[in-house]
Chains A and B, each alone.
Chain A
Amino acid sequence: MSDKSEIVGEIIARHHHREGPLLPILHDVQAELGCVDAESEALIAKGLNLSRADVHGVVSFYHDYKSKADPRPVVQVCRAEACKARGVEKIIANAQQAAGERVKIETVYCLGLCSAGPAARTGDDLHIRLDEAGITKLVENA
């Protein structure tokens, strides 16, 4: 048995009793393996007695699940209305420049820090009131 099937099997067992267990399972697989790839999808489908198409449909629907693991650090920058009103579009180029190929800049829509944007998230850490220098530093330290 491969490592992956053991890990996924354990995650399925952890959530199997829940009502609507698929999303919690996918969250844990994504967290543990960095992605939900085709192999994991097949394992989950078998474990929950669903079709692979059902599972793939769910995985591909949600922005949080990735089909391929990306080892790069991620900086999520909010580019929704409130952060736009506070100038995120003016600093996004700085973020991309500082990131280069090393860091992945992702767009999110709203971190709920709308009165103090532009806002960004790295892991579970949040950042507010970013300006050109602030976001450059944030990306460089990511």
Chain B
Amino acid sequence: MTTVRISDDALARAGGADKLAAAFEAKGCVVQRTSSWGMHWLEPLVEVDGKGFGPATLDDVDAILDGTSDKAIGVIAEHPFIAGQTRFTFSRAGRTCPLSLEDYEATGGWAGLKRARQIGSEAIVEEVKESGLRGRGGAGFPTGIKWDTVRKAEADQKYIVCNADEGDSGTFADRMVMEGDPFALIEGMAIAGEAVGATRGYVYLRSEYPDAIRKMNAAIELCADIIAPFVCEVRVGAGAYVCGEETSLLNSLEGKRGEVRAKPPLPALEGFLGKPTVVNNVLSLAAVPHILTEGGAAAYKDIGFGRSRGTMPIQLAGNIKHGGLYEIGFGVTLGELVNTIGGGTASGRPVKAVQVGGPLGAYIHPGQFDIVFDYETFTEADALIGHAGVTVFDDTADMLGMARFAMEFCAAESCGKCTPCRIGAVRGVEILDRIKAGGRKRDRLELMPQMHNTKKDAGRDTGDEIGLLTDLCETMKFGSLCALGGFTPYPVMSALKHWPEDFTRNPELVEKALSEPAE
């Protein structure tokens, strides 16, 4: 009897994997539902004896079984997209059944936790420090140092909170971990608990991920005895992007409005319910079981670039030919990712812009494609890695429209705590609309006789508006508490800087406004 392997990842299912699985079963095959290999352009991908066929439809079933299908891609593990990767966090992707404890154990599962329990809390933190692991949520803060702070804090109760509120467009690595390898995340949380002395863990999971919620709940139930005395629970978000910010997440978890808290106090000392709390991203926690295996920390540290150690699961998204998950050591260039690995745009048109790091990440021009994936290099280039989502746009993209959307998104998702974000984003949308319209005439107020100090000429031209926008972005950048208001200027200003022709027919205006900041 033929064994057929098909992913039950949300993306494969959205592409019709369930019907496909049923069709193979009807033909008498044994169907195993595995995690996704991460080659999304080939989903639903059908695997027979290690060989892949995709993207498969119901019409392909017979041809796949008799070996005549033209959708054959050869041996999956040897596919260039897979063979070129260094997979630590995603070592099981495509290879195991997500909710099978047998599969998990057979592929080295729980080894990290067992060893962690033997070596004790101080040694665990030392190994995480040694690995060089930095927070994968975006800020890149060293995980080991965060854990050490919580470990040293004295309290009757401490918490591990997993930030699974993956709201950034262009990112899906957290979702793939939770759907494809949920035990790895739970093991990572249990190890974190062991390291800092916490017995309770929460996974704050966004409501837009129904499959991940279901699988995480099932996985927690299945392994409850293994991770005991550590207890883990899923909490579902309620559709607020800002809750991906750690302090806002903690408020939400407590049942409050997801408003950002001022820091200090650090969550590590006063977090969930005022107790010391580790808040880590899914990818940070899922990297931990590997690091805690014998020699894992050194192996992790050996890969990477500069101060960015280890691997980054990079997500290739948007208008890209070969989209999916690509885990590789830091140091790869953006050009390699987009053009070589990703194969350029899906539409076949030239690449116009690439946004790295979600809605708050800068738009990067193809002229900067030699930039390497490394936290420091990106910061120097006024860009951010964020959660390592890479969203590609072809030459039909309207960058003024994208800048406007960045402001619109910030206005819609602002928690309302600080003025630059809450009101600035609304004003930003208005300014961009006026830039599009080529400035504005003097308005009714300015025409009133009392307003004798206003300019007497024609109102504001595009150059004035661009000056205003630059000024507003400065204010948002430095006057906001969290990254939502503070980083929204990145996509706006980078779009303006690199594609001035999309903003005005007179690009010199932009250059002038950027070189002499508004008074």
Which residues in A have some Cβ–Cβ distance to B below 8 Å?
Answer: 19-24, 26-27, 57-58, 61-65, 78, 80-86, 108-117, 119, 121, 124-129
Residue pair B389, A126 in contact (C-beta under 8 Å): no
- Asked if A112 and B405 sit within 8 Å, CB to CB, the answer is no
**Complex CA–CA separation, A77 to B409 (angstroms):** 15
Interface size class of B (residues with CB under 8 A): 35 or more
Chain B positions within 8 Å of A, measured between CB atoms, are 10-11, 13-15, 40-41, 43, 166-172, 174-175, 200, 207-211, 235-241, 252-259, 272-273, 315-320, 323-324, 346, 355, 358-359, 389, 391-394, 397, 402, 405, 409, 412-413, 415
Residue on A nearest B353 in the bound complex, by CB: A85
**Contact A112–B10 (Cβ < 8 Å):** yes
Q: Which residues of A contact B10 (CB under 8 A)?
A: 112-113, 126
Q: Determine how close the nearest CB of chain A comes to the CB of B511; give it in whole angstroms.
A: 26
Cβ–Cβ < 8 Å partners of B252 in chain A: 23
What's the least CB distance linking B180 to chain A, in Å? 12
Inter-chain contacts of A127 with B (CB < 8 A): 14
Which one of B208, B391, B402 lies within 8 Å of A121 (CB-CB)? B208
Q: Which residues of A contact B238 (CB under 8 A)?
A: 23, 26-27, 62-65
> Which of A24, A27, A62, A114 touches B317 (beta carbons < 8 Å)?
A114
Min Cβ gap B152→A in Å is 23
Given contacts A24-B235, A61-B258, A86-B319, contact A128 B15 (CB under 8 A): yes
| Cβ-defined contact, B317 with A82, below 8 A | yes
Is the beta-carbon distance between B169 and A116 smaller than 8 angstroms?
no
Question: A81 near B405 (CB under 8 angstroms)?
Answer: yes
Q: Give chain B residues whose Cβ lies under 8 Å from the Cβ of A83.
A: 169
Provide the residues of chain B in CB contact with A116, threshold 8 Å. Answer: 11, 14-15, 40-41, 43, 323
The distance in angstroms between the C-alpha atoms of A22 and B257, with both chains bound, is 10
With a CB–CB cut-off of 8 A, which chain B residues contact A63?
A: 238-240
How many angstroms from the CA of A61 to the CA of B11 in the assembled complex?
29
Contact pick for B209, options A24, A61, A81, A112, CB 8 Å? A112
In the complex the two chains form, what is the Cα distance from A117 to B15 in whole Å? Answer: 11
Known: A27-B238, A116-B14. 4 other contacts (CB 8 A): A109-B241, A113-B11, A119-B14, A126-B210
Chain B residues near A117 (CB-CB < 8 A): 318
Q: Which chain A residue shows the least CB distance to B257?
A: A61
Q: Give the nearest-CB partner of A116 in chain B.
A: B40
Closest A residue to B200 using CB positions: A19
CA distance A109 to B150 in the complex (A): 33
The listed residue with most B CB atoms (<10 A of its CB), out of A20, A85, A117, A119, is A85
Closest to A61 in B: B257
Question: Closest residue to B236 on the A side, CB-wise?
Answer: A27
Partner of A81, one of B166, B200, B211, B318: B318
Give the CA-CA distance A20 to B273 in the complex, in Å: 9
Of B237, B256, B412, the contact of A58 (CB 8 Å cutoff):
B256
- Given the known interface contacts A24-B235, A85-B397, the answer about A109 and B171 at a Cβ–Cβ threshold of 8 Å is no
Nearest CB of B to A139, in Å: 16
Closest to A108 in B: B208
CA–CA, A121 and B13, complex, Å: 12
Contact of B236 among A21, A23, A119, A126 (CB under 8 A): A23
Q: Residues of A contacting B172 with CB < 8 Å?
A: 112-115
Q: Which residues of A contact B323 (CB under 8 A)?
A: 114-116
Pick the most buried of B169, B318, B358: most chain A CB atoms within 10 A of its CB.
B169
Please give the distance in Å from A131's CB to the nearest CB on chain B. 13
Interchain nearest-CB distance for B480 vs A (Å): 18
- Residues in A whose Cβ lies below 8 Å from that of B358: 81
CA distance A64 to B236 in the complex (A): 11
**Candidates B167, B209, B255, B316; contact of A115 at CB < 8 Å:** B316
Residue of B nearest to A79 (CB): B405
Q: A109 and B169 in contact (CB under 8 A), knowing A64-B239, A85-B392?
A: yes
Q: Which residues of B contact A57 (CB under 8 A)?
A: 257
Residues on A with C-beta less than 8 A from B405 are: 81, 84
Given A20-B253, A81-B318, answer yes or no on A86-B346 (Cβ-Cβ < 8 Å): yes
What are 12 pairs between A and B in contact, CB < 8 Å? A23-B252, A62-B237, A64-B239, A84-B402, A85-B392, A109-B359, A112-B172, A114-B389, A114-B391, A126-B14, A126-B211, A128-B11
Name the residue among B208, B252, B254, B323 with the largest chain A CB count within 10 angstroms. Answer: B208
